């Protein structure tokens, strides 16, 4: 079991949406929360919200796609807060357009934030965890990391990579004998945050638009129970099974039947 109380917990992308809700709940549980994000004003508001309810929080402007910035900020966190016990890699971006409509720089940004950012943050804080043989690293991936989705070539590719990163890290830690360091990969369907504004989903009983609070609760419970993988909603567990046993054309038709490849047609995303 991972106890949150008194632990230093970093949440990247923590000044809004899922990350902010997670930071607030972690603080309620007694975590010493550290928020990474890009907007100093939004970070300050998130920190003030946590402190107003009696929690402990600090915020740092940090672009996780910038390797040097991540390493420099990590030095500040160690000096000002202490060694990190729980790292939650939540920061992410999405384009939501057909491949040929995505500017090259947007594709690079998706990969830099959603994939390379994982490497820089983990390399910043893993060494101290290895010395103690304790800690917890959470990768917020996506159900789009289990199957390709129309209008998500950059996002889905990045989340496939995120899942591969998390699984490889788990294997590496286990092989080296650092079994005290736990990892969790979270693979949710669409969440009702501004990031996915405009997406459509059907049938709602099997593939609902997930409530932000629900994902936060499931993620924190997975941290507390050292659960290595979380797929939300439960129907997502069928995806790898169907891919393994069905011919590709049949699997594609099933995805079409459930509206997966139409889900992004009216995507707007976060206006920010």
- Model pLDDT, residue 38: 97
| pLDDT surpasses 70 at 271 | no
**CA angle, corner 231, sides to 85 and 210, nearest 5?**
100
Listed in sequence order, the DSSP H helices in the chain are: 17-28, 40-52, 67-80, 104-111, 117-132, 153-175, 212-224, 238-245, 248-257
- Model pLDDT, residue 150: 96
Q: How far is CA 9 from CA 56, 73, 212, in A?
A: 10, 14, 19
pLDDT in tens, 164-192: 999 999 999 999 999 999 999 999 999 99
Task: Using pLDDT thresholds of 50, 70 and 90, give the confidence band for residue 157.
Answer: very high
Tokens of 170: 């788990």
| pLDDT surpasses 70 at 272 | no
Task: Using pLDDT thresholds of 50, 70 and 90, give the confidence band for residue 204.
Answer: confident
Residue 133 or 198, more confident: 133
155 catalytic, yes or no?
yes
| pLDDT surpasses 90 at 141 | yes
The active-site residue out of 36, 155, 189, 190 is: 155
Give the chain's mean pLDDT.
96
- Model pLDDT, residue 248: 97
Least reliable range by pLDDT among 20-34, 212-226, 255-269: 255-269
- Read off the pLDDT of each residue in 240-248 and give the average, rounded to a whole number: 96
Cα–Cα nearest to 114, from 87, 91, 144: 91
Residue 185 dihedral angles phi and psi, to the nearest 5°:
-110, 125
Distance CA 160, CA 142 (A): 8
- Model pLDDT, residue 201: 85
| pLDDT surpasses 60 at 262 | yes
Tokens of 202: 């059907």
In the structure, how many helices (H) and strands (E) does the chain have?
A: 9, 7
Task: Using pLDDT thresholds of 50, 70 and 90, give the confidence band for residue 195.
Answer: confident
| pLDDT surpasses 90 at 215 | yes
Task: Using pLDDT thresholds of 50, 70 and 90, give the confidence band for residue 40.
Answer: very high
Task: Using pLDDT thresholds of 50, 70 and 90, give the confidence band for residue 24.
Answer: very high
Q: Where are the domains of the chain?
A: 8-262
Distance CA 24, CA 22 (A): 5
pLDDT in tens, 90-134: 999 999 999 999 999 999 999 999 999 999 999 999 999 999 999
Report, at the CATH architecture level, how domain 8-262 is classified.
Answer: 3-Layer(aba) Sandwich (3.40)
Tokens of 4: 């949150």
Least reliable range by pLDDT among 72-86, 128-142, 150-164, 257-271: 257-271
């Amino acid at each position: 079991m991972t106890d949150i109380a008194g632990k230093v917990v970093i949440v990247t992308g923590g000044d809004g949406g899922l990350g902010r809700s997670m930071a607030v709940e972690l603080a309620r549980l007694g975590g010493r929360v550290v928020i990474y994000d890009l907007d100093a004003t939004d970070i300050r508001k998130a920190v003030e919200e946590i402190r107003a309810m009696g929690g402990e929080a600090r915020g740092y402007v940090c672009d996780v796609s910038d390797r040097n910035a991540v390493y420099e900020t990590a030095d500040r966190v160690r000096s000002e807060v202490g060694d990190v016990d729980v790292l939650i890699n939540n920061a992410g971006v999405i384009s939501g357009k057909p491949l040929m409509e995505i500017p090259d720089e947007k594709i690079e940004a998706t990969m830099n934030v959603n994939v390379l950012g994982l490497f820089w943050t983990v390399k910043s804080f893993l060494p101290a965890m290895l010395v103690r043989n304790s800690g917890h690293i959470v990768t917020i991936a996506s159900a789009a990391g289990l199957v390709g989705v129309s209008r998500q070539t950059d996002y889905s590719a990045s989340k496939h990579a995120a899942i591969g990163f998390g699984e490889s890290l788990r294997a590496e830690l286990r092989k080296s004998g650092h079994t005290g360091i736990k990892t969790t990969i979270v693979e949710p369907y669409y969440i009702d945050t501004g990031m996915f504004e405009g997406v459509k989903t059907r049938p709602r009983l099997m593939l609902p638009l997930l409530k932000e609070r629900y994902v936060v609760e499931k993620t924190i419970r997975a941290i507390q129970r050292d659960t290595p993988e979380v797929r939300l909603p439960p129907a997502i567990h069928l995806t790898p099974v169907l891919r393994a046993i069905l011919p590709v054309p049949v699997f594609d038709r099933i995805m079409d039947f459930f509206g997966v490849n139409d889900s992004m047609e009216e995507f707007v995303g976060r206006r920010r």
